[in-house]
Structure 1
């Protein structure tokens, strides 16, 4: 009886989260394991990231404004867009930091993949000085 009791005390309780950390049955990775409806097999899809917080966005805007040239700003803006989910308004505000329509257009096309509310993306067209830039963005949105 003593050995059975000792055996049970060494076993981990599957409901105890502290005991599960780092164990193979604890699925604490960055992927969701979702079954594919057509095949029944499990797909591993990345978990969605939260939208960039107001504080993080303010810090990002400050860093963008500190850059002197559009070429430097575009590099930083692309990094920010690739690492964060953003709203249309955040992308629009970020794009307004650029001096030239070409830079605004390049960034807004790139940032589209990071946008969480794509149905409002057309509103970004208002930031362009030239209608040709606005039209190019709309053409891009129609293709993606």
Structure 2
């Protein structure tokens, strides 16, 4: 009986913190009119009811131009962590489709995230008409960088490892506002014991600011820090100009950038705090 009560209590507690549509964040007003909601956008040249050879058709004639309702929510769907960056340095309105992702713009820059590893079809359109189609070999945790020229074709420039973005997975960005942030494990971030050992070693080897800066930049090259840890490192320096320089250099290595104001409080002068905030706002 006791175990049953505990199980019920756990289920009840879990339900209190479960994600639910519309229970977090600020609701933004739907500016579409009632007649527009659910209809197909026919203004773009790449959306037509009638298809021809090589023309991308997003519409489903069986739906008579209206979408089906009753969406199925998937909170923690993991698709992949590979990326493809494609540039088209020509004037025109281009569209790029990789797998089930589709991007259209006239900026010439197309960035695809959350791609699964494996062979991925890629199609390139101009004003809706197919120009090029091939298959990419996308590797796990890698970023392919490509250039496309309408007269020459698609060129793979290089492949790079995807750098850590400072959180365990992209889902954390969306799940944290619901209060589901209790078990986040940041990659390469120092735990308290390791950080204390880091501080002790630095104090034994480096007495002055210049030596400390060299030590932090060298030894912390492959580590991530919390705002609180960076604040401690900044406070340990003697001169405010060195504190400011360190606060700027460690911002990309911070795993909780939303709390970086803590680091600003470690600076001696208000002018330095303002300079740090100005610097961060421009990144």
Off by >6 Å, runs of 4+ in structure 1: none
Query: 1:81 offset after TM fit, Å?
Result: 3.4
Q: How much is the aligned-residue C-alpha RMSD, in angstroms?
A: 2.2
CA distance 1:58–1:137, shift in 2 (3 Å): same
Q: Tell me, yes or no, if structure 1 residue 115 matches structure 2 residue 231.
A: no
More deviation in 58-67 or 115-124?
58-67
Q: Which has the higher helix share?
A: 1
Corresponding residue for 1:34?
Answer: 82
Deviations 1:4-41 (A, max 9, x none): xxxxxxxxxxxxxxxxxxxxxxxxxxxx8625445655
In proportion to residue count, which structure has more strand? 2
The number of residue pairs the alignment matches comes to: 113
Larger Rg: 2
* Equivalent pair of 1:64/1:97 in contact (CA under 8 Å): no
> Which runs of 5 or more residues in structure 1 are unaligned?
1-31
The answer as to whether partners of 1:125 and 1:134 remain within 8 angstroms in 2 is yes
Maintained 8 Å contact 1:126/1:134:
yes
Q: TM-score, normalised by structure 2?
A: 0.37
The structure with higher relative contact order (CA 8 Å, sep 6+) is 1
In terms of mean alpha carbon deviation, does 126-135 or 37-46 score higher? 37-46
TM-score, normalization by structure 1: 0.69
CA 34–95 in structure 1, closer or farther in 2 if over 3 Å, else same: same
Deviations 1:63-107 (A, max 9, x none): 222211100000011123322011100111111110011111111
Tell me the equivalent position of 1:53: 191
What is the alpha-carbon distance in structure 2 between the residues aligned to residue 141 and residue 47 of structure 1?
20
CA distance in 1, matches of 2:242, 2:214: 10
Q: For the residues of structure 2 that align with 1:71 and 1:35, how far apart are their CA atoms?
A: 38
> Gaps spanning 5+ residues in structure 2: where?
1-79, 85-100, 103-111, 113-119, 121-135, 143-160, 165-186
2:82–2:162 Cα contact (<8 Å) kept:
no
